[in-house]
Amino acid sequence: MNIDTLIIVTEKVGDLAAIAREVERLGYHALWIPEHPVIPVERKTPFFFMADGKLPEHYARWVDPFVALTVAATATTRLRLGTGVCLMPERDPIVTAKVVASLDLLSAGRVIFGVGAGWLKEETEVFGTAFGVRWKRLRESVEAMRALWSQREASYQGEMVKFPAVRCEPKPVQKPYPPVILGAHGPNALERVARYCDGWMPLIDDPAQLGRDIARMRDLARRNGRDPDAIQVTPIVDPHEEGLSADELRAFRDAGANRLILFSQTIGMEQADGTILERVRRYASVVERARALP
């Protein structure tokens, strides 16, 4: 089982290239960087990952993930580069397709394209997408980007995303395109993964529940005429202070996880203030335990 890390990159991060090199040296499989282009000053949407519903201040200070991942790409040779997640309802799909393909080319095919629809209503609507149709825009964006990545002359005609035949190059190194991993939760998320995504990235700490969800997702994939074995499952798991034990890792693997991303809101707040390497080094033992699983 592979172990990944997700990091919050702000102006306090320091030498990101050195961090990426250390993540690679310690044997992590992938480095994931999330996205929030803006945080509206006036907002009513509660942050459901905190008991008080308050959004941590550092969310307004995140670096653009593609710029950060480009720095990481130039500093490493094996480390996979993931967006965790890219908020496609807030982005132009043509421009984003070119950015993803360019990063995949320049990194020799190391991009994992994590996408999401977003939870912060006020942020989504800053970019002109009505919150209630964000999932439709996400799906159409993914379909349009795949056409741009795989066809010499691509066009797309959806309800929200549409453009005439265009050339959009370079093409990604990965064929037909980088894996598209959906960060989402709930029954509708399983249906969306089964319908049009290459993988699923849930926030979950219960391997038993993960196993039930994966069984449901695999059944839905079969009904959609897809190979369920081709769909990657990458849970985001809180490693707590001591890291995950071999038994915990085995439970996630046996539930159907292909790899784990180690992250929590507590870790994110620490990272935002520039203490990324401490946690990355602390959990290097988890990387070794995962490799040693029989």
Range of the domain at 110: 2-292
- pLDDT of 174 reads 98
| Cis-peptide into 178, omega within 30 deg | no
pLDDT truncated to tens, each residue of the chain (294 aa)?
Answer: 999 999 999 999 999 999 999 999 999 999 999 999 999 999 999 998 888 999 999 999 999 999 999 999 999 999 999 999 999 999 999 999 999 999 999 999 999 999 999 999 999 999 999 999 999 999 999 999 999 999 999 999 999 999 999 999 999 999 999 999 999 988 899 999 999 999 999 999 999 999 999 999 999 999 999 999 999 999 999 999 999 999 999 999 999 999 999 999 999 999 999 999 999 999 999 999 999 999
Query: Coil, helix or strand for 7?
Result: coil
Query: Coil, helix or strand for 101?
Result: helix
Residue 177 makes CB contacts below 8 A (sequence gap 6+) with 145, 146, 149, 150
Q: Answer yes or no: are the C-beta atoms of 20 and 75 closer than 8 Å.
A: yes
End-to-end CA distance of the chain: 10
CA distance 223 to 217: 10
pTM of the model: 0.97
CA distance 21 to 73: 9
CA distance 36 to 101: 21
CATH label of the domain that carries residue 288: 3.20.20.30
C-alpha 85: how far from chain center: 4
Domain count, the chain: 1
Q: Answer yes or no: are the C-beta atoms of 294 and 16 closer than 8 Å.
A: no
